Structure formats: C-alpha cells, structure tokens
Amino acid sequence: MDGAEAPITNGTNLVEVRNLVKHFPITRGIVFQKQIGAVKAVDDITFEVKRGETLGIVGETGCGKSTTARLLVRLLDPTAGTILFDGQDIAAAKKDDLKALHREVQMIFQDPYSSLNPRKTVGSIIADPFVIHGLLKDSGERRKRVQELMDRVGLNTEHYNRFPHEFSGGQRQRIGVARAIALEPKLLVADEPVSALDVSIQAQVLNLLRGLQREMGLTLIFIAHDLSVVRHMCDRVAVMYLGKIVEIAPSDDLYGFPRHPYTGALLSAVPVASATGGRRERQLLTGDVPSPANPPQACRFHTRCFKAQELCSQEEPLLEPKGTRNLAACHFPLSEAEARLRLPAALSGANGSTNERGSRTIVDQSSSSSST
C-alpha cells in the first residue's frame, strides 16, 4: 500500500483557515518605539483539515510552519484572518474561550527537553491538564488516570515520581504526547515531534502517534522537515515557502507528480537508499531564502526558480488546480516530464509495511532500545 491509509472522515471540516496573517513588527527605539517594518511570518494562507485526516506541512526553516501551528492552537494572536474550529471562529477568542478551546486542541512541541518543566515530576506534568481544567479533583483518581496515560504511550508507570532529566529524549517526547492526549482532544498539532530524536527511536514515536490517532479518532496536523516521514504519515500535504502555501495536494499526488517548482526541488533533495532508485536530476536552488521582512514581489519563489519568467515578478499566482488534484500557486507549473526527471522511482515506493488492518506502519530498521 503506497502512502498513508485513507482517512476515516465524515466529509466535514474540523478546521478551516481563511486568509490567515501573522506579522511580527520590527521596531526602532527603546523608550519611544516606532514600527519600521514587519516580519511576514505567515502571509495570507488558506486551507482546511477534515475530521480524522492528517495534514502535513513542510518547507524550509523559516517558512512559517511553526508559526502556523502556534496560531492554530492560539499560542499566538493572528494579525488578520479567520480560524474556524468545529464551526467556531477562534481567531479572536479571549481568555475563557481559549481555556475551553485547549480542551479540544493540543500541541506536541518540537523540543522534548525544553517543553517539560524540570522542577516537576512526570506524574505532575501529565496531570497538569486535569488540574488546570478542574477535572479529576480526587488525587487518587487523578493518579490512576495519569498512570493509564503513561502505560498508553509506552512509559513505565513505576516512573511516576521521576523528573524529566531522568528520561531519554524519546521518553520525554512520550511524556509530551501523554500530556497532549490527557483531555482527549479533537485536534492534535505536532510541531516536528521527532526532529530532536535519534533516528533509532523516531519510528517508534511516529507509530505511537498513528496508533493513538486510530484509537481516539484524532485529527492530526503534522509538521516536519523529513519528507519521507511526511509521505507515510499524512493524507494531504501543504508546502510552505516564505509565509505562503505554494502547493497542497493528497500525499500520493504530491509525491508522484509535484506541480510547483519549489516542491520539485524539495523532493529532488530527498535521499533514497535504493539500487532501483533510478537516475534523477538534482535541482539545486541558487541563492539564500529571501528575508520574510522584505519578500520578493509577486511570486516569492521567482528569485530562485529555474522556470521564472517576467510574469512571475509582476503578478502573484493564485493557489488553484493545475489539471490534477494538486493546488499550486505557479504560473508555469512543472510538466510531468520535468517532475519525473527530478523524482527517483523509489520515492513513490513503499518504505513501510502494512499491518493486518491495512494501516501504515513506519519501519524501524534499528533495533529497539530500552532507553526509549
């Protein structure tokens, strides 16, 4: 089975983002500050996420992936735009509304070292959501529930009173996962959850997330740099560049026939260890990523694009269908021949195994370690 399994959805959107903007002001002065510009971290993006599906967000460092994640969880206030969660606009939600929102929307952070309070025990960290929301007030009942969560994510319940520094990186990330699912949320936003982990334990954490998604009916937004991981985790993938979504498509379509030149460049850089991978043309992007404080006019990728023409610097392309299920913001999308030239044959193959229920499982090619 290629790619992620078909999402179990009811066809309705859980999240709808419309024209979302987040600009960070650049100021001058100490006492009397004056805004002289803005970092356009997220600049007018629109997408939706169906119930039960996994949406991947990929792109270079600084493209706005993590800022988008924090906007969805409302850890940041948007500059403009609409975020509909379960039909309710949460873009302008205030303190009490945000508290209720966080019972249904939770986040797994990138760094398992800095996202846990070193002064608290594991039991206290995982119990925090119950304390904050006034649930399970009986200490015995709360302890039992925390131990159930620890067991569910593969942690030894005997480690209830240990501190974060006594755990490995993989175990710390499992603690973060347990805390995130404690209130049984509808939406889980995973911001590069395995990028800080050893390769030997990444697959175990990814399979844990897939298993929890199936068991709990979670909707998952998965942010990562590793395109091979995204290929097998996600039903659809959005590609970001300089605060914009430049392409969004079902996973199989995007990896099989990318339409935006930037997506093609990303995929051409994916290392594939396969004797049958075939020859491919590596598309090297020239120059550095432009500053988000002063992005190029019109198409933001035209300064690095091998297909750029005069129109690209004059008119911003719309995110629209390109004859396939891909939506791409490009005046001159890749042809099938250009896409095939940049993609190894092995990229669309299966790098995972299919279990008896037909669910995608990431293959862990390293031996299991007791430290995870």
Examine the domain organization and report whether 50 and 153 are in the same domain: yes
- 199 and 280 in one domain? no
Asked whether residue 216 is domain-assigned, the answer is yes
Is residue 76 within 8 Å of 70, Cβ to Cβ?
yes
**pLDDT at 359 exceeding the cut of 80:** no
End residue of a domain, out of 199, 234, 269: 234
Nearest C-alpha neighbor of 162 from the set 115, 129, 117, 123: 123
In a domain, 250, yes or no: no
Range of the domain at 129: 13-28+37-234
Residues 145 and 70 in one domain: yes
Q: Is the pTM of this model over 0.95?
A: no
358: pLDDT confidence band, cut at 50, 70 and 90?
very low
195 and 293 share a domain?
no
Residues 43 and 157 in one domain: yes
Number of domains in the chain: 2
Q: Do 284 and 227 share a structural domain?
A: no
Confidence of residue 280 (pLDDT cuts 50, 70, 90): low
Give bridge partners of residue 194 from the DSSP assignment: none
Closest CA to 121 of 148, 75, 157, 153: 157
Residues 201 and 333 in one domain: no
pLDDT category of residue 367 using cuts at 50, 70 and 90 = very low
In a domain, 344, yes or no: yes
Contact 101, 15 (CB under 8 A): no
Q: How confident is the model at residue 54 (pLDDT cuts 50, 70, 90)?
A: very high
Task: Measure the CA–CA gap between 166 and 243, rounded to whole angstroms.
Answer: 38
8 assigned to some structural domain:
no
**What's the mean per-residue pLDDT of the chain?**
87
CB 168 within 8 A of CB 196: no
Residue 361 lies in a domain: no
Whether 116 maps to a domain, the answer reads yes
Same domain, 322 and 186: no
Question: Can you spell out the DSSP letters for 117-142?
Answer: -TTS-HHHHHHHHHHHTT---SHHHH
| pLDDT, tens digit (0-9, with 9 covering 90-100), for 314-330 | 999 999 999 889 999 99
Tokens of 340: 């095939």
The answer to whether residues 223 and 302 belong to one domain is no
pLDDT of residue 287: 76
18 and 167 both lie in a single domain: yes
CB 141: neighbour CB atoms within 10 A?
12
